[in-house]
Amino acid sequence: MTTEFPAAVRRVEAALTAAGLEPRVLEFPASTRTAVEAAVAVGTTVGQIVKSLLFLSAGRPVLALVSGSNRLDLERLAVLAGLPVTKADANAVREATGYSIGGVPPLGFPQPVPCFVDRDLLTYPIVWAAAGTPHHVFEITPADLVRVTAATVADLKA
């Protein structure tokens, strides 16, 4: 039997497929809204969960993909972005990404979003990121994550 994922998940799958990957989406009845919840659902460590944190810099979106066990250093992100950054509110997140907080994936946006990846994520063989809803995640190698997001790897933790 095939089950149809929600449209938001299918957009993420399409983006992964377009990038040459075979999407590996997992669906959970329990919430995967936060990194801790996602880690419990998947059965992995919080460090292996990718937080997709959206910021605005001079009105433009900037995405930080941060290990679930790290806190983002806003100053570092501002230096990388070249301008001050502020956290996007729920409406700005939906507008820039097409997804709601708790389900924001690292890719599959209406327009490309400049992206920075927490270097600590590269210490794991596999990581899991939100796949478009607070009940779906997908697994990916950190190298593929960097590639499909065209990200800059950086020290992001506070």
Binding site for ligand 5CA (CB under 6 A): 32-35, 38, 49, 51-53, 87, 89-90, 101-104, 129-130, 134, 137
Q: How far is the CB of 30 from ligand 5CA (least distance, A)?
A: 12
Residue 4: φ, ψ to 5°: -90, 125
Name the 3-class secondary structure at 154: strand
DSSP 120: G
Q: How far is the CB of 136 from ligand 5CA (least distance, A)?
A: 8
Q: How far is the CB of 144 from ligand 5CA (least distance, A)?
A: 16
Q: Is the CB of 1 or the CB of 6 nearer to ligand 5CA? A: 6
**Angle (CA) 133 134 135, round 5°:** 90
Q: Is the CB of 2 or the CB of 52 nearer to ligand 5CA? A: 52
Cα–Cα distance, 57 to 106 (Å, whole number) = 18
